[in-house]
C-alpha cells in the first residue's frame, strides 16, 4: 500500500475534512466522520481511510481519533501520515514526551524531503514547548504507596475523631 490516498479512494473522502475544522458546523463534521466510518467499514484494510478518520475526529472525539490512527499504524506500520498525525494528537494533548517520540518515528518514515521537513517542523515546535515547560507530566511511577499513605492518614484521623 502507498502512504498517499489512491485515486480510487478519493471519492470516499469528503472534501470538508481538510479545511479549518472550526469553519464547519459540528453537525456537518459529524456527517463527514460518519461517512468516513462507513468508508472504513467498506474498506477495512485501508490505512489511508483510517488516517483520514483520525484527522477528522481529532478535534471532536479524541479517543476515536487515537483508535483510528493506531489501527492505521497496525495496518501499515511505516505509514508516514498516520504516524505524524498520531504524534500531532499527543502534541495537542501536551503529552510532549510521547509526541516527540512518535514524531521521531514519523521522521524515520519520511519518504521525501517535504515529509521530513514537516516532521522536523513539528519536532521543533514540540521541543520549544518542552523548553518553555508547557507539558503534562508523564505518569511513570506507581501510585500504590501514596494511596496507602493517604488511606493510613484517613484511618488515623478517623480513630482520633472517634476517640476524642
Per-residue pLDDT reduced to its tens digit, 21-30? 667 788 888 8
Residue 121 lies in a domain: yes
Mean pLDDT of 83-100: 92
Instruction: Give me the domain span that covers residue 40.
Output: 7-139
Task: Decide if pLDDT at 19 tops 70.
Answer: no
Split at pLDDT 50, 70, 90, the class of 102 is: very high
Task: Decide if pLDDT at 94 tops 80.
Answer: yes
User: Is 90 within 8 Å of 97 (Cβ atoms)?
Assistant: no
Mean pLDDT of 133-158: 81
- pLDDT at residue number 76: 92
User: Is 21 within 8 Å of 29 (Cβ atoms)?
Assistant: yes
- pLDDT at residue number 5: 44
Residue 15 lies in a domain: yes
Residue 159 lies in a domain: no
Residue 145 lies in a domain: no
**Which 3 state secondary structure label does DSSP give 139?**
coil
Number of domains the chain contains: 1
Split at pLDDT 50, 70, 90, the class of 136 is: low
Mean pLDDT of 52-71: 88
Query: What's 44's domain CATH number?
Result: 1.25.40.10
- pLDDT at residue number 15: 43
Residue 58 lies in a domain: yes
Task: Decide if pLDDT at 147 tops 90.
Answer: no
Q: Which of 75, 72, 119, 76 is nearest to 99 (CA)?
A: 119
- pLDDT at residue number 138: 64
- pLDDT at residue number 10: 43
CA distance 122 to 72: 20
Amino acid at each position: 500500500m502507498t502512504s498517499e490516498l489512491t485515486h480510487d479512494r478519493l471519492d470516499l473522502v469528503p472534501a470538508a475534512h481538510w479545511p479549518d475544522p472550526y469553519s464547519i458546523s459540528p453537525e456537518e463534521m459529524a456527517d463527514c466522520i460518519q461517512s468516513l466510518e462507513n468508508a472504513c467499514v467498506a474498506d477495512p484494510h485501508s490505512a489511508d481511510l483510517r488516517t483520514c478518520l483520525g484527522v477528522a475526529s481529532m478535534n471532536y472525539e479524541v479517543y476515536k481519533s487515537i483508535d483510528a490512527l493506531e489501527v492505521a499504524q497496525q495496518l501499515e506500520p511505516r505509514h508516514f501520515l498516520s504516524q505524524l498525525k498520531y504524534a500531532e494528537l499527543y502534541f495537542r494533548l501536551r503529552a510532549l514526551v510521547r509526541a516527540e517520540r512518535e514524531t521521531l518515528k514519523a521522521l524515520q518514515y519520511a519518504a521525501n524531503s517535504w515529509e521530513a521537513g514537516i516532521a522536523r517542523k513539528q519536532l521543533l515546535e514540540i521541543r520549544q514547548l518542552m523548553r518553555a515547560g508547557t507539558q503534562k507530566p508523564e505518569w511513570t511511577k506507581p501510585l500504590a504507596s501514596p494511596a496507602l499513605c493517604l488511606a493510613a492518614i484517613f484511618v488515623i484521623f478517623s480513630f482520633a475523631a472517634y476517640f476524642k
